[in-house]
Amino acid sequence: MTTRPLQFLRRGQPVALANVPPDRTLLQVLREDLACTGTKEGCGEGDCGACTVVLGEARGGKVHYSAVNSCIRLAHSVDGMALWTVEDLAEDPLIQPVASAHQPSRADSGEGARSAGTGMDTQAHEDSDGRGGEGPASPSGATTPPVRAAGLHPAQEAMVQCHGSQCGFCTPGFVMSLFGMYQNHVVPSLAQAGSAQPCQQPQGTGLGSTPCAGPGQPITRELAQQELSGNLCRCTGYRPILDAAQRMGTLPPVAVDEAELLHKLELMAHNQQALEGSLAYMAPTTLPALLAARAAHPTAQIVAGCTDVGLWITKLHRQYAQVIDVTRAAELRQLQHSAHHITIGAAATLTEAFDALVQQWPQLRGFAARFAGLPVRNAGTLGGNVANGSPIGDSMPLLIALRAQVVLASVRGERAMALEDLYTGYRQNVMAPDELLVRIVVPRPGVSEALRAYKVSKRFDDDISAVCLAIHLDIEDNTVRRASIGAGGVAPTPARARRTEAALAGQPWNAATVALAAQALQAEFTPLSDMRASSTYRRTVLTGLLQRFWLESQGEEAVSVEHFRLEALA
């Protein structure tokens, strides 16, 4: 079997590589085939973020930007996309200064005045505590607003000005996460202000040498923390990096010329060969073609975001001669809303899926933000998390509590079942060799429903759960009419706490009922003891979380650990 040539855009130009093995990672291609050694390998499992790159994908006439981990991303999965590494930000001709609609005042800037873009070599001073301050004082006593050095992207310059790098190994990944944040948060604010047009300047004048400057969107500490959740640093203590995240929006702005980028992506797509056929890497673009490929190649490895398969390659050294990528089938990327259900395609990313769920259940926002780090959520899919069936997967307890159904499909037809009925044992399920998970169907919330999801882990961000518990109650006239409870980390599979549900259903919603249900919950599972937690700890945490749910339902204010962490980094 052969692989079709891999093509993607870099610095506005197509890159074509032949004979790339189907299980070769993007990081291997960058470092070993293209000598792009600015992108680093740290953990090799999508945790540290040193390997972060940004992808640009054409969707509905716009470019969708996402920061992803290149160490666990299969190279062929970026076929037809635009790619940026840390080495490209100052070199990409499609990244141009943005014309200014107005010059903001200090009050507009949120964190000091924005630069008029007239200086190139003035560096911002640092406050005595190491945090970035404003520029040097002029003879009149006024301060010079922040400026950007010629050639550097605001994400890079902000890291320089705020001293966000010490040993430097993690810096490329942080810069790329900042670039993704810049494109998704700062640039849209410029467009809303009517100023997101490339500045008309002579060729070769450099990104920092033009008076074209405009307002950037102030990035809050909370937003910066969320966007950088997939990057780890051992040196700086994070505060100067968070300073840099806020600083970059105050520097003279730049933006990707999306019209030109879309044109180049369309040209590249027009010249590409079909992805379907008897290839080592197959990525069918329709559901019928995908199901036919699965029927023809039942032993091929199924991949979506590669956040699990990537680890099997980098850590377990598995090799895959044939791969089927489900993410190109348009039907599996859809999110549909009907009167009674939300239907999430199996290849919708975790970011997209959680956004859809949070729209219906805003109380899930904090839980969603704790699912891995942002680069993993940008790549991983909800269907992949469900199909993988890990007992410590965080989406399944929530979906069980939400009474979700999964739909399996093959060339023989479709069948639906409750999500908890998908699993038969540790990482085992009822899917036939020719079947695929194609969508998850979640009922919309009712007016009398109470829902909470809790994750307990040793580390707040980007960590595996010791215990995950989701509780969903229908309460009318202070009586529990129906209970659905999903648990993770306490059994060989994601599990439904049926005995605890029975202890709650039909009972008055009061402390006595909760106490009896807590006893049932503690006896319901016999979890293992491992490096993350003991069996006793897990069972004790389960009952504590049920008690917490009761207190929150009675109006007790929930205390957020995240609040204290953000205060410490302020």
Reported as a single tens digit per residue, the pLDDT across 108-144 is 333 333 333 323 333 333 333 333 334 433 333 334 4
Q: Are 428 and 389 in contact (CB under 8 A)?
A: yes
What is the per-residue pLDDT for 127?
36
Q: How far apart are CA 106 and CA 127, in angstroms?
A: 18
Confidence of residue 558 (pLDDT cuts 50, 70, 90): low
Sheet containing 341-345, strands listed edge to edge, beginning at the edge strand earlier in sequence: 335-337, 341-345, 436-443, 405-410, 413-418
Tokens representing residue 415 in the block: 């069948």
Alpha-carbon torsion (161, 166, 172, 174), positive or negative: negative
Q: Are 453 and 468 in contact (CB under 8 A)?
A: yes
Q: Are 198 and 255 in contact (CB under 8 A)?
A: yes
Domain 334-564 has CATH 3.30.390.50: yes
Q: Is the pLDDT of residue 145 over 90?
A: no
Helix axis angle, 171-181 to 154-161, nearest 10°:
130
What is the per-residue pLDDT for 556?
74
Give mean pLDDT, residues 260-277: 80
Strands (E), 331-447: 335-337, 341-345, 405-410, 413-418, 423-425, 428-429, 436-443
DSSP structure class, residue 239: H
Per-residue pLDDT reduced to its tens digit, 336-369: 999 999 999 999 999 999 999 999 999 999 999 9
Q: Are 447 and 463 in contact (CB under 8 A)?
A: no
Q: How far apart are CA 305 and CA 326, in angstroms?
A: 9
Q: How far apart are CA 183 and CA 173, in angstroms?
A: 15
Q: Is the pLDDT of residue 333 over 80?
A: yes
Per-residue pLDDT reduced to its tens digit, 153-212: 999 999 999 999 999 999 999 999 999 999 999 998 887 765 444 444 333 333 333 333
What is the per-residue pLDDT for 4?
83
Give me the half-sphere count of Cα atoms (radius 13 Å) on the Cβ side of residue 116: 7
Q: How far apart are CA 282 and CA 477, in angstroms?
A: 55
What is the per-residue pLDDT for 363?
95
Domain 6-91+259-325: give its CATH code.
3.10.20.30
Bridge partners, 69 (sequence order): 52
Residues 6+ apart with CB under 8 A from 459: none
Q: Is the pLDDT of residue 77 over 80?
A: yes
Tokens representing residue 212 in the block: 């074209």
Tokens representing residue 106 in the block: 């200090």
Give mean pLDDT, residues 304-332: 96
Q: Are 298 and 434 in contact (CB under 8 A)?
A: yes
What is the per-residue pLDDT for 172?
98
What totals of helices (H) and strands (E) does the chain contain, helices first?
19, 21
Indicate the domain borders of the chain: 6-91+259-325, 95-136+145-256, 334-564
- CA end-to-end span of the chain: 55
- Pairing of the two strands 323-325 and 281-282: parallel
In whole angstroms, how large is the CA radius of gyration of the chain? 25
What is the per-residue pLDDT for 168?
94
What is the per-residue pLDDT for 277?
47
In percent, how much of the chain has pLDDT > 90?
77
Give mean pLDDT, residues 250-276: 87
Give mean pLDDT, residues 505-531: 97
Q: Which residues of 442-455 are buried (b: 16+ CB within 10 A; e: fewer)?
A: beeeeeebbbbbbb
DSSP structure class, residue 401: H
Q: Is the pLDDT of residue 10 over 60?
A: yes
Alpha-carbon torsion (72, 182, 189, 358), positive or negative: positive
- φ/ψ of 489, rounded to 5, equals 85, 10
pTM of the shown model: 0.85
What is the per-residue pLDDT for 564?
57
| Backbone dihedral region for residue 529 (phi beyond 0: left; psi -120 to 50: alpha; all else: beta) | beta
Q: How far apart are CA 460 and CA 444, in angstroms?
A: 29
Between the alpha carbon of residue 497 and those of residues 7, 16, 268, 500, the distances in Å are 48, 52, 51, 5
Tokens representing residue 73 in the block: 């991303």
Domain 95-136+145-256: give its CATH code.
1.10.150.120
Q: Is the pLDDT of residue 318 over 50?
A: yes
Three-state DSSP at 94 gives coil
What is the per-residue pLDDT for 568?
61
Q: How far apart are CA 393 and CA 405, in angstroms?
A: 17
Per-residue pLDDT reduced to its tens digit, 416-435: 999 999 999 999 999 999 99
Alpha-carbon torsion (61, 369, 521, 505), positive or negative: negative
Between the alpha carbon of residue 119 and those of residues 20, 131, 147, 200, the distances in Å are 46, 22, 6, 18
